[in-house]
Structure 1
C-alpha cells in the first residue's frame, strides 16, 4: 500500500486518497482524477500479481516463465 501511495503522489494522482473532492474542483474533473488513480492501482496490483505467479511457477517447476 505504501508503495502505491508514493507512486500516486509522484504522478500527482494523490487527491483521491482523501476520498473527498477538493473545493472548487468540477465534478467531471474529480471523476476523471479518481478513475486515473484507480487505474494506476489496478495496473500496479496486476503487475505484482503476475510477478508473484511467475516467481512461484519458477520455484515450483525449476524452469523459467515467459509472458506471451
Structure 2
C-alpha cells in the first residue's frame, strides 16, 4: 500500500518525501482535532476508578528518615 502511494506521488524523492510528510501531518491533524474529540464523548477514558491510598496512622510529620 505504501509503495503504491509512493509511486503515485509526483516529483523526485525530495518532493515525494515532503508530500508524504504533509499527508501524514494532515491526517494527524484531522484525527487530533475532529475524530478524537468526537470519540472522547463516547469512550470517556478519564472516568476510570481512582483508588486513594489508605490514611497513615503515623503521628510523625518528618519526611527525613530518623529525623
TM-score, structure 1 normalization: 0.44
Structure with higher Rg: it is: 2
Q: Which has the higher helix share?
A: 1
TM-score, structure 2 normalization: 0.45
